[in-house]
Structure 1
């Protein structure tokens, strides 16, 4: 081949558009391993939420990377106490609020005046911790999000086509509960999103097999010990339980969003596909993380939360993209942790 022809072909190659995978996700520039299509279906559920941009993650990382310094905030304390007193079913509560500059306030309360426990149960946050351990295993190459679950759960319907990412995103179609007779799949893998304890069960089975340890020990080593969360404990259960101080939960969430639990690629991948959780299109679920668009529900609340928690659960941890503050609330008894979180975050914005 002549030199001039080689130069011409090289110029054509350079001018050709980059392959599609170069832009997936966030311009990471390498192909995604494709799961086999046979037995899978294209997503046909409600519209996914628009992706968060690189610049937003950069802004978040900056906001949650400041060093935490404990402070006394009388105005926050008054709002916290008035909020829990207005919920007659609440027996005890704990909260922590970290401002973008690093000032962090925390308080616990009991209705009968007895000393509050050092650690509260954080029901509804378990999936955020388990997904964090899974993301770490993916980051080190012990697992891949595209791996099929058949080697660990061959008896599950469509096991040859369900991936680890399907378990984390609850797009597997696994039946909601096991019964005396084999249960049929709810839908083809990837076709829709539906929360199911079966996804959590298979995910726990995979993690404990790969790491060769009980799930509570895996979370202790990979999360609590890794980030020196000394007031966080995980208990064996189905699902695993989380007990912690509010300050440790705030630290966990800041570490996750600040790319200290795992790197930027793993963090952003967890927010890449956000499935709507309800018809109102205000809450969306990623891989063990959630996004709430408050402006979609209330015109006056122009805020977006990156949060962990379950509907009707007694605990929540949330990062506000408006105030850049992080709040964690856990209640014992009947109450609304979301409303209390709003009260505290609104004070930071004010």
Structure 2
């Protein structure tokens, strides 16, 4: 079925729809990861967005339920160069097209994603429309009429409504080790060392797996949970998750997190980092086209060490607005934006990227152990 991709500035691309049909709108952005399209599609941080994959062929290994990062896809649409006609993977249970049809998501292929990405890099992320039913002029107007990312609170759409304790199998798959004579492909989980509360602003399953692998028992709570209710649980620490939308639009969350400062160790990632920036008296701003991919270089200013990281965000903390009590610990080497902060007096730190990856490199997984050590130091 023929489809069009229309940008709010009037740029048009013609292609072919797959999955569902109809019309969808959202902010269009691009992701440079070569693999991991299923994790990207199911990452709640992409709520409200149409994602362009820069890698030319997508769908070649199908869809596997165990690889999802949440209970359902969250992208408004997917833009790709070519949809693989074959899902070649023994773990695959469904093709990408069938998965999109099941969840009523529109994908569009046969798009020059290189030209589209260069356009977005030059002019910035913007609103867009994918449609199989509108004219070009109507699709452009639909893009213009859609809600901008600035000021949008998508956390309320993706957060859990009920508290729960993460109890899914979090063992890590590995190849058998001939030195240790490991018999199977699963590493045993460590005993629980700390009990924490995790705010769900759009939390990914692999974050919860990594926390359990680091010795944490995790109770996940809704984004609207009060600080008083969290502290009443007497946790060893609090985790602030990733999530979608504009961090400046989450004043109700800022106020609750502010009441946790000085009362419990806190670790935040992605949106959690931006929320802490506001809590500390700073601010955030929208990046031109954001950081989305698995190859972002980040420098730890304390050690000089450089990590290649997985990132997915369109906003950043303004380092010039942070008070003296906050130290900028990490920066992005591509554009010098803030990638990590810590409080000089209280046991609080955060990073802008994704230590749990999925997809992406595992250079930064040490932060989960660092959080455990921080809790130990406060006991």
Same fold per superposition (TM over 0.5)? no
TM-score band by shorter chain is under 0.3
TM-score of the superposed pair, with normalisation by structure 2: 0.24
Compare the two structures and name the one with the higher helix fraction. Answer: 1
Structure of higher RCO (CA pairs closer than 8 Å, 6+ residues apart): 1
